[in-house]
Chains A and B, each alone.
Chain A
Amino acid sequence: MFSEPIISIINYLLAGIYVLSSLIYGKHFFSKSNSETTLRILSFILVFVIVLQFLYFLIRGIVYKHAPITTPFEIMTLLAFCITVTYFIIELKTGVTQTGFFIISIAAIFQIVSSIFIEELDKINPVLNSWLLGFHVAFALAGYSAIVISGIYGFLYLKMYNHIKSNKPSNFYKKLPSLFLLEKLAKTSILFGFAFLTFTIIIGIIWLPMAIEEFSYTDPKLITTFAVWIVYLLGYISIKIYRTESRTTMKLALLGLVFAVCSILIVNFLFESFHRFY
């Protein structure tokens, strides 16, 4: 009875907390001094937002009896969650807090759009009950989170590189971690993104023809996912085989992110696809 208002409150609360944490991460990056209090607040907020969002998915799952993968806006909140959790792990492992602003801000954008437009469908497509779909979506989200993170670290690498090359004493130079670490994080994310997208495509190819009668290999969503995968395959080859200069790989990571975001937006909102369940 009270569950829907609670879901709605948490939905907007999540958007607010994402905005707040982006602002605090921004202050942490742009201010001249780093206070211990800010760092403590950031750690608390990050854990709080992850726990709250997990509870949100749990309550939604109990109330609506499906995973949050039925509409683009459910996917967006899930993507925000995946990005935040991945960033949290990176922050824990590296101790680097200065890149938070750039990553949490992107997660915040996904969450805000989701919070504004999310709504429950009257009828859920039975296809969405498949367990294979669960894996398919989970891998796709993990892959796209890795793509977002690799793109952001690629961008930060290029900023840092330019500041060092051109001798500009800037906040980027002072606050960002070493080029080596930015490169490592971007490259690791590219490799994870590539691996997860590969699994997504493999599971999709196994599951989609079985689950959907009107399955077609010319579906725009399939084509764009495959195109994104090709971009990351090139990234993988450039890193592992050709040992391309880091700057080129980082440009590829950034281009990959732009390409992935644009193609997903265009395909989801402009094209009709069998690969749509709402």
Chain B
Amino acid sequence: MIKIPSHKHPVIFSVGINHKTAPLEVREKISINEENLPDVLNCYKDVLKECMIISTCNRTEIYGVTNGSGFDSEYIKHKLIEYTGAGDTVNPGHFYELILGSSAAQLFNVASSLDSMVVGDSQVIHQVKRSYQVASENGFTGKVLNQIVQKALHAAKKVKSSTSLFEGAFSISYAAVELAAKIFGDLKNLTALVIGAGETAELTLDNLIKKNIKKVYITNRTRKNAEDLLKKLNGSGTTECEILEFSDFKNSVFQADIIISSTGASNYVLKYDEYKKIVKKKKGEPVLIIDIAVPRDIDPEIDKFGNVFLKNIDDLNSIVDDNFEKRMSVIPEAEKIIRFELMEFLNWYYTIPVQPAIQFIQANSNGQAGSQIKEIRNFLTENIAGIYNKITFGAGSSNEELNHYYGLIEKLEQINQSFNRQVNGG
């Protein structure tokens, strides 16, 4: 639990649930659809100066900046649990909480996919960008989040272009098609049913069509989205595509050998009792059901049928990852890039309290002022390296980190005050 007393300097923090702290059954209860993000952000507008929420299949994380009036991480958690109505499944113990440099490092690792369940998942860069856009469009971002997200995305892009971390990386669409090939071999005589018309569904569909799957049914609550998805596909080759009305799609489930579901529904789209009737019509034929939705679309009980292979996002992550070792070998390279960008951010962040003074000094530049800035910079460089090492090796608690931060700011302000006295002849 992090409690920050009222203090004039804002503190950056992150509180969240991710694949390291909670299983999918818990994560799905706390996940937030993009359209609901502004509502959740609104819950924090009175207690936070800035705020953004990253909610993906692997995590729901809140990055915020305190408004100086005191901060209690328990409040952040309880508001989130209250909004999602996940109190039965989720408890505060499922959350991690970080402040200052550690929370910054967390965002950098998330954006660069080092914190992903499958390292090298390039979709996360887009997801961080989108989360930031939503927060920004709704007026929840300020100078700290602007800077940290910009730096984190810059680091991620650098990692992507300078290392092979994202090369041949796992993606849900790849895993789905790979798993289908492991069950069915050739996909040429198979039929797929795609429920939902999101980005992952589109990528998976594209891969299935490339494998010349015989027929694809697409269904979506909003028919237009299904039609748009069909238009987006770069030609369907030999694959026959058909749109099904969402209200009717269950009548066609028995025709599908592969079902991919990725709706934003909060309840199961396909329940055990409904599938029980369908499985009889399948006459022992195997069915692969890929549920990439969070919260899940398909009743997990359906996996109990012998010839049904029901896979959720965690299952796919653990079963298919051919390039794991290759990607692991470039992690030190990626960490080096992140370290550089993170140090830059921390250098900037720790000077926020003395920024007005620095700007004043720069505007009235003279020899004495130059040496003053140099002194601040040197002081920070020495300390930031220490902070980074503490973050990296996990030494010290949030309270220690906070005390260290306040101590640093105090020293910076002292340097600044002594300079002011010299300038003013005091």
A residues in contact (CB < 8 Å) with B? 160, 164-165, 167-169, 173-174, 177-181, 243-247
Other than the given A165-B309, A179-B183, A180-B286, 6 more pairs (CB < 8 A) read A169-B319, A178-B184, A178-B185, A245-B284, A245-B306, A246-B286
Q: With A167-B311, A167-B318, A169-B321 as given contacts, are A244 and B284 in contact (CB-CB < 8 Å)?
A: yes
Contact A173 B306 (CB under 8 A): no
B418 → A minimal CB distance (Å):
60
B178 → A minimal CB distance (Å):
10
B120 → A minimal CB distance (Å):
16
Contacts of A246 in B (CB 8 A): 284, 286, 307
Chain A, Cβ-Cβ closest to B315: A167
Contact A245 B307 (CB under 8 A): yes
Chain A, Cβ-Cβ closest to B308: A165
Contacts of A244 in B (CB 8 A): 284
Chain A, Cβ-Cβ closest to B283: A243
Contact B307 A164 (CB under 8 A): no
A95 → B minimal CB distance (Å):
12
A246 to B184, CA, bound (A): 13
A178 to B322, CA, bound (A): 16
List 24 A-B pairs, Cβ < 8 Å.
A160-B182, A164-B179, A164-B183, A164-B319, A165-B309, A167-B315, A167-B319, A169-B318, A169-B319, A169-B320, A169-B321, A173-B319, A178-B181, A178-B182, A179-B183, A179-B286, A180-B184, A181-B185, A244-B284, A245-B306, A245-B307, A246-B286, A246-B307, A247-B307
B206 → A minimal CB distance (Å):
21
Contact A164 B284 (CB under 8 A): no
A164 to B185, CA, bound (A): 14
B191 → A minimal CB distance (Å):
15
A245 to B182, CA, bound (A): 18
Closest 9 pairs between A and B when the two form their complex, measured CB to CB: A178-B185, A180-B185, A167-B315, A167-B319, A245-B284, A167-B318, A179-B183, A245-B306, A180-B184
Chain A, Cβ-Cβ closest to B314: A167
Contact A178 B307 (CB under 8 A): no
A178 to B179, CA, bound (A): 9
Contacts of A160 in B (CB 8 A): 182
Q: With A169-B320, A169-B321 as given contacts, are A179 and B182 in contact (CB-CB < 8 Å)?
A: yes
Contacts of A169 in B (CB 8 A): 318-321
Contact A173 B182 (CB under 8 A): yes
Contacts of B306 in A (CB 8 A): 245, 247
A227 to B170, CA, bound (A): 50
B316 → A minimal CB distance (Å):
8
Chain B, Cβ-Cβ closest to A180: B185
Which residues of chain B from 305 to 343 have a CB within 8 Å of any chain A CB? Answer: 306-307, 309, 311, 315, 318-322
B residues in contact (CB < 8 Å) with A? 179, 181-186, 283-284, 286, 303, 306-307, 309, 311, 315, 318-322
Contacts of B322 in A (CB 8 A): 174
Contacts of B318 in A (CB 8 A): 167, 169
A158 → B minimal CB distance (Å):
12
A37 to B318, CA, bound (A): 31
A165 to B303, CA, bound (A): 9
A160 to B284, CA, bound (A): 17
A252 → B minimal CB distance (Å):
14
Contacts of B184 in A (CB 8 A): 178-180
A181 to B186, CA, bound (A): 9
A179 to B321, CA, bound (A): 19
B334 → A minimal CB distance (Å):
23
A243 → B minimal CB distance (Å):
5
Chain B, Cβ-Cβ closest to A182: B185
Contact A180 B319 (CB under 8 A): no
Contacts of B303 in A (CB 8 A): 165
A156 to B306, CA, bound (A): 17
Interface centre among A160, A167, A181, A244 (most CB of B within 10 A): A167
Contacts of B315 in A (CB 8 A): 167
A246 to B307, CA, bound (A): 8
Contacts of B320 in A (CB 8 A): 169
Contacts of B321 in A (CB 8 A): 169
A165 to B185, CA, bound (A): 17
Contacts of B307 in A (CB 8 A): 245-247
Chain B, Cβ-Cβ closest to A168: B319
Contact B284 A180 (CB under 8 A): no
A167 to B309, CA, bound (A): 10
Contacts of B283 in A (CB 8 A): 243
B254 → A minimal CB distance (Å):
15
A98 to B321, CA, bound (A): 20
Chain A, Cβ-Cβ closest to B185: A178
Contacts of A181 in B (CB 8 A): 185
Contacts of A247 in B (CB 8 A): 306-307
Contacts of A177 in B (CB 8 A): 185
A178 to B187, CA, bound (A): 11
A141 to B332, CA, bound (A): 59
A246 to B305, CA, bound (A): 12
A111 to B20, CA, bound (A): 52
A245 to B280, CA, bound (A): 11
A178 to B257, CA, bound (A): 15
A65 to B321, CA, bound (A): 58
Contacts of A167 in B (CB 8 A): 311, 315, 318-319
A247 → B minimal CB distance (Å):
6
Interface centre among B181, B319, B320 (most CB of A within 10 A): B319
B215 → A minimal CB distance (Å):
18
